Structure 1
Amino acid sequence: MKHVIVYKEAGRYAGWPANYGIWSWGDEIVVGFTLGYHNTDGGFHARDKTKPMVAMQARSPDGGESWETVVTPVRTPGNRGLSAGEHSSAKNGGGEEEHANEPVPVQEAIDFAHPDFAMMCAREDVVSGSGSWFYVSYDRCRSWQGPYSIPMMGLLGIAARTDYLVSGPRECMYFLTAPTMEGTETGSRTFCAKTEDGGKTIQFVSWISPEANNGFSIMPASVRLPDNRILVATRDRQVAPDDRASNWIDLYESSNEGKTWTYLNRPVADTGRGGNPPTLTRLLDGRLCITYAYRDAPYGIRAKLSSDNGATWGEEIVLRSDAGSHDIGYARTVQRKDGALVTAYYYNDELGGACYIAATLWKP
């Protein structure tokens, strides 16, 4: 097992790879994240909300051993950062700037089956009224087209992070989160949507998780099995009457292309303070791997494996447990050609310390 630094800079706050995505082509890997400024007094996340957040991406040509980082070459609505409403109060210049780069519908059908394809989803915020959009790349994230609008589909808002399954050259399923109450993330639910015409139209298919009035079910992570069943893991929270919150990861399955969903099990019963999203990876040997962060002491990154397509899960694997606080995680995992896994996440070394992007290289 080996831990490597993907991006780290003094005074800066780097976070949340799960919001943006990870893509791989053999041993060439790209992971997205956002970059702001560190502030010990920033609250749950030690970032300075008065300063802008910038979309970044890191590329490894050698299976995660080394990384180069650049600003993600995308046009952002209002020239603000991706997910700006949640993590930055910094304003743009107003006027025409306020409406720059507005997301537009797809005009020319997307080729989801292109060998160098990648898609990245983004959002304004996590509460009602939040709009979402996406970008596509045909050159392994070296350039991006978009922003393309994700329609509201009759919902109060859409809080899109990157999770999708390609079904064919013109067909793709989007796995998304929608707020269901005005002005709060409480009650948010996961759902799936689909395009069959290369992204020109995107239609709501079904809710994945049930209503959660005193909590939420957000941030879906999907995988398709060889028998065409789809599994989706979700980040879940429930708040008790005494305001104590429980956080865990649930698993759902669909055998009819997302039309209906069945609760399968709870792979992870506790993800610690605030909770943390899962990521699902199907390994070369057919096993499933779920990775996530544990946000109580000892803070760190963990994993579980399943040898029966998610029906049961093995013992928890501790990848590391040396973080300084709960402000960690949002992992994404891919597998190299040699079978090793590359798990990317954000991390910190001490309480109140600045967050950075790291990766763990390990053999399951």
Structure 2
Amino acid sequence: MDMQMRHLEIYRRQGEFAAWPANYGLWSWGDEIVVVFARGKLGAKGELHELDRDYPFVPWQARSLDGGLTWMGEPFRGHVPGGHSLSADEHLNADLKIRPHLSVRDDLCVLDEPMDFLDPETIIMCARTDVEGDAVSWFYVSRDRCLTWQGPYRFTGLHLPISARTDVVPLGREHALFMLSTSKEGGAEGRVFCARTGDGGRSFVLQGFVGPEPEGYSIMPASTALSGGAILTLTRCMGKGGGKGWIEAFTSDDEGKTWTGKGCIVGDTGSNGNPPALARIEDRLLLVYGYRDPPFGIRMRMSFDDGQTWGAEKVIRSDGGTADLGYPRIAECGEGSLLAVYYFNDGDREERYLAASILTPARDQEGGEDGAASSQSQFCAMPKRNV
């Protein structure tokens, strides 16, 4: 399928490290779109990230009212328990981490009004302390398109460490699956499990683990319900001792109790790997991920048969300066168009910033999609517009 492509900048400030939308969320309501991410500062270069561990990573939002073409920054108006940083403990020195200052009893609320998972105006964002050990997680609810956030709410009924990113599969008005990560035995990061709520998020039960405990890790799920009722989950994988990452697929036919491995669908996401972003748009599934080896950039694959087979890998962009990029979220941004939001950079000592690509299927002269099933198509680059 030929695609028209447009790259944009969402949020960029000199000296800042703005990143990781996959750890937070992206939501769209027609032309209105909101993304949540983290803002910190550049600092000394580590193994991968070039960030200041003595400065908080505060949650921030960007909002578009024109389908992703222009963006406005705004504060995250939710309560951050135990500190200023949110879902970034692993990048901070001890005194800035949430975990030492968090009181689960005092800081986390019990949800009293059930969520309606079928209401497009009700959205959920999951958050966490760390990614290993005795990590604690919670979730927020917004019913006014992220202008305000209620919570943080406990995952009542789940008695295991939780490293949550936002991945929710609605099954009914008060019935949904939350795909979450937890530590392995011994405390190392991590593996994916499925939790179910049948009362609108007031309580949860553990449904099942997604695959056996890995030698390295299998984390950061991206999930969707398939047309036949099964659940498809993609996970970010890494072998023991690091190296190159990959993406695996799993399906469940019993609402997350048992899972069947479908194999590796992206064999190489580069050194340190990158999480998947998954969306269903019209009759196709779209997978977007960062690639952390030269040429650094953002890539995608597409499936027209509910994930049984995937088309050839496509390069969305390959102009990244270093491996410190990716962590995408994707959403529909108009009829048949896809918005991929990710963090990006232009090189060492350059700010990390939020960027986006709008992907639109090319149309033939009769108005139909041109070559919808072709796996050999290329992207057509549109002029870059900085926002």
Q: State TM-score, norm by structure 2.
A: 0.87
1:136-155 equivalences in 2 (<5 Å): 136-151=141-156, 153-155=158-160
- Say if 1:244 and 1:133 are closer, same or farther in 2 by CA, change over 3 A: closer
CA contact (8 A) 2:85 2:97 kept: no
What's 2:26 paired with?
Answer: 22
What's 1:62 paired with?
Answer: 66
Is residue 170 of structure 2 the alignment partner of residue 173 of structure 1? no
Q: Secondary structure at the match of 1:339?
A: coil
Q: Equivalents in 2 of 1:109, 1:10: separation in Å?
A: 42
What's 2:327 paired with?
Answer: 330
Q: CA deviation at 1:149?
A: 1.0
- From 214, 217, 220, give the equivalent of 1:212: 214
What's 1:363 paired with?
Answer: 360
Q: CA deviation at 1:244?
A: 5.8
CA contact (8 A) 1:292 1:302 kept: yes
- Cα deviations by residue, 1:232-279 (Å, 9 ceiling, x for unpaired): 00000113xxx4623100011112211211111321000001000001
Is residue 163 of structure 2 the alignment partner of residue 163 of structure 1? no
Q: Secondary structure at the match of 1:362?
A: strand
What's 2:267 paired with?
Answer: 269
What's 1:202 paired with?
Answer: 204
Q: CA deviation at 1:209?
A: 2.4
Is residue 232 of structure 2 the alignment partner of residue 251 of structure 1? no
Structure 1 vs Structure 2: percent identity of aligned residues? 43
Runs of 4+ in 1 over 6 A off after TM superposition: none
Q: CA deviation at 1:15?
A: 0.5
Is residue 85 of structure 2 the alignment partner of residue 75 of structure 1? no
Q: Which has the higher contact order (CA 8 A, sep 6+)?
A: 2
Is residue 309 of structure 2 the alignment partner of residue 312 of structure 1? yes
CA contact (8 A) 1:92 1:98 kept: no
**5+ residue gaps in structure 1?**
none
Q: Equivalents in 1 of 2:244, 2:17: separation in Å?
A: 27
- Cα deviations by residue, 1:119-140 (Å, 9 ceiling, x for unpaired): 0000000011110000001111
CA contact (8 A) 1:17 1:331 kept: yes
- Say if 1:320 and 1:231 are closer, same or farther in 2 by CA, change over 3 A: same
Q: CA deviation at 1:45?
A: 1.1
CA contact (8 A) 2:42 2:349 kept: no
Q: CA deviation at 1:98?
A: 5.7
Pairwise CA RMSD: 2.0
Q: CA deviation at 1:112?
A: 2.5
Is residue 49 of structure 2 the alignment partner of residue 49 of structure 1? no
- Say if 1:152 and 1:272 are closer, same or farther in 2 by CA, change over 3 A: farther
- Say if 1:93 and 1:180 are closer, same or farther in 2 by CA, change over 3 A: closer
Q: Secondary structure at the match of 2:229?
A: coil
- Cα deviations by residue, 1:335-358 (Å, 9 ceiling, x for unpaired): 222312110000001133221000
Q: CA deviation at 1:106?
A: 1.2
Is residue 285 of structure 2 the alignment partner of residue 288 of structure 1? yes
- Say if 1:93 and 1:81 are closer, same or farther in 2 by CA, change over 3 A: closer
What's 1:235 paired with?
Answer: 236
- Say if 1:129 and 1:152 are closer, same or farther in 2 by CA, change over 3 A: farther
Q: Secondary structure at the match of 1:363?
A: strand
Return the letter of the residue paired with 1:207: F
- Say if 1:6 and 1:90 are closer, same or farther in 2 by CA, change over 3 A: farther
Q: Equivalents in 1 of 2:48, 2:347: separation in Å?
A: 14
Q: Equivalents in 1 of 2:235, 2:31: separation in Å?
A: 28
CA contact (8 A) 1:19 1:33 kept: yes
Q: Secondary structure at the match of 1:191?
A: strand
Q: Equivalents in 1 of 2:88, 2:294: separation in Å?
A: 29
Q: Secondary structure at the match of 2:89?
A: helix
Return the letter of the residue paired with 1:45: H
What's 1:303 paired with?
Answer: 300
**Count of aligned pairs:** 355
Q: CA deviation at 1:291?
A: 0.3
Return the letter of the residue paired with 1:139: D
Is residue 125 of structure 2 the alignment partner of residue 123 of structure 1? no
What's 2:370 paired with?
Answer: none
Q: Secondary structure at the match of 2:166?
A: coil
Q: Equivalents in 2 of 1:321, 1:351: separation in Å?
A: 16
Q: Secondary structure at the match of 1:38?
A: strand
Q: Secondary structure at the match of 2:45?
A: coil
Return the letter of the residue paired with 2:110: P
What's 2:223 paired with?
Answer: 222
Q: Equivalents in 2 of 1:180, 1:244: separation in Å?
A: 16
Q: CA deviation at 1:88?
A: 1.9
Q: CA deviation at 1:92?
A: 6.2
What's 1:32 paired with?
Answer: 36
Q: Secondary structure at the match of 2:154?
A: strand
**5+ residue gaps in structure 2?**
362-387
Q: Equivalents in 2 of 1:199, 1:174: separation in Å?
A: 10
